[in-house]
Copies of this chain bind each other. A is one copy, B any other.
Amino acid sequence: MRDFSTDHRWLSINTATVRRQRGQDWGLLEILDACAARGIRAVSPWRDQVAAAGLQATAARLRAHGLALSGYCRGGMFTYTDAASRQAARDENRHALDEACTLGAPCLVLVVGALPGALAGRPAHRDLAGARQQVAEEMAELLAEARTRGMPLAIEPLHPMYAADRACVNTLEHALDLCDVLDPGRSGALGVAVDAYHVWWDPKLQDQIARAGGSRILAFHVCDWLVPTTHLLEDRGMMGDGVIDLPRLRGWVEDAGFAGYSEVEIFSRANWWLRDGGEALDTCIVRHRRCV
């Protein structure tokens, strides 16, 4: 297992982690500058942040700093209620693929979607199995597009508390079952993003990480699960502040063959966290050395 305690060469920052400071958005280009100034070598940006900063400007800034990507967030949201919404999702996903290529991402991360309309509080139906069927079908369609571009897709199973509104793939086992169906040859075109926050609770986690192997694990995300957790989306904890045994989990992932970046992805409403983006990055570096 790699020693993370003396440097942060394997730390990546998911840029949503520091998207807000001092009550306003922190621009992506400034975030990239702040990461580079701290010797951080990789980031994973979100599409809306890239759109606000400009795709070409983002690509140029990444190059100027020699910053790598550990992933691109995100594609997916596959479920639909009619032909128009299906096509809209397909179009969005092709744009996401093209952007990932332009930015040189190692993979496009997929949050697959769930019951259509649920994220807006108006679920169109209760057919979770049907939503899962749509996800499988649309992912097959996107995979063909991704193969032509040479851009791997990483299915991110989300915590079961998001099954209704964000992603109806909620275990690593389910994600790997999809991989086996859609890419039985383990071509490298399809894999998973293992986010500690979403999967830490799973009694089958160690076995499923081993099943995934290095060829299927395309990304590894860290933060922590707080007790108590007071908000379903924006109460993720800084590594070390919660109950996830991150070194053990990283050990499993590395034993499986993963040797990439460890990406810090924290959504938090905590006041201290939102005060100063630079301080937040400094804390990520310290905790990544100490607690991951």
> Do residues A227 and B160 form an inter-chain contact, with CB atoms below 8 A?
no
A159 on interface, CB distance cutoff 8 Å: yes
A80 on interface, CB distance cutoff 8 Å: no
Which residues of chain B are near A201, meaning CB under 8 Å?
A: 128, 160, 163-164, 168, 170
A118 on interface, CB distance cutoff 8 Å: yes
Q: Which residue of B lies closest to A228 (CB)?
A: B121
> Do residues B174 and A243 form an inter-chain contact, with CB atoms below 8 A?
no
**Chain A residues with a Cβ closer than 8 Å to the other chain, count:** 34
A262 on interface, CB distance cutoff 8 Å: no
> Do residues A161 and B161 form an inter-chain contact, with CB atoms below 8 A?
yes
> Do residues A243 and B202 form an inter-chain contact, with CB atoms below 8 A?
no
Interface residues in A188-204 by Cβ distance below 8 A to B read 200-203
Which residues of chain B are near A264, meaning CB under 8 Å?
A: none
A42 to chain B, nearest CB (A): 27
Interface residues in A94-131 by Cβ distance below 8 A to B read 115, 118-119, 121, 123, 126-128
A229 on interface, CB distance cutoff 8 Å: yes
> Do residues B165 and A202 form an inter-chain contact, with CB atoms below 8 A?
no
> Do residues B203 and A126 form an inter-chain contact, with CB atoms below 8 A?
no
The one of B118, B127, B168, B227 in contact with A164, judged by C-beta atoms closer than 8 angstroms, is B227
> Do residues A227 and B121 form an inter-chain contact, with CB atoms below 8 A?
yes
The one of B118, B165, B203, B243 in contact with A170, judged by C-beta atoms closer than 8 angstroms, is B203
Q: Most chain-B CB neighbours within 10 Å: which of A132, A165, A228?
A: A228
A244 on interface, CB distance cutoff 8 Å: yes
Which residues of chain B are near A168, meaning CB under 8 Å?
A: 201
Complex formed: what's the CA distance from A118 to B225 in Å?
11
Complex formed: what's the CA distance from A170 to B160 in Å?
10
The one of B163, B200, B245 in contact with A127, judged by C-beta atoms closer than 8 angstroms, is B245
A217 to chain B, nearest CB (A): 20
A208 on interface, CB distance cutoff 8 Å: no
Q: Which residue of B lies closest to A120 (CB)?
A: B227
Which residues of chain B are near A228, meaning CB under 8 Å?
A: 121, 165, 232
Residues of A within 8 A of B (CB): 115, 118-119, 121, 123, 126-128, 132, 159-161, 163-165, 168-171, 174, 200-203, 225, 227-230, 232, 242-245
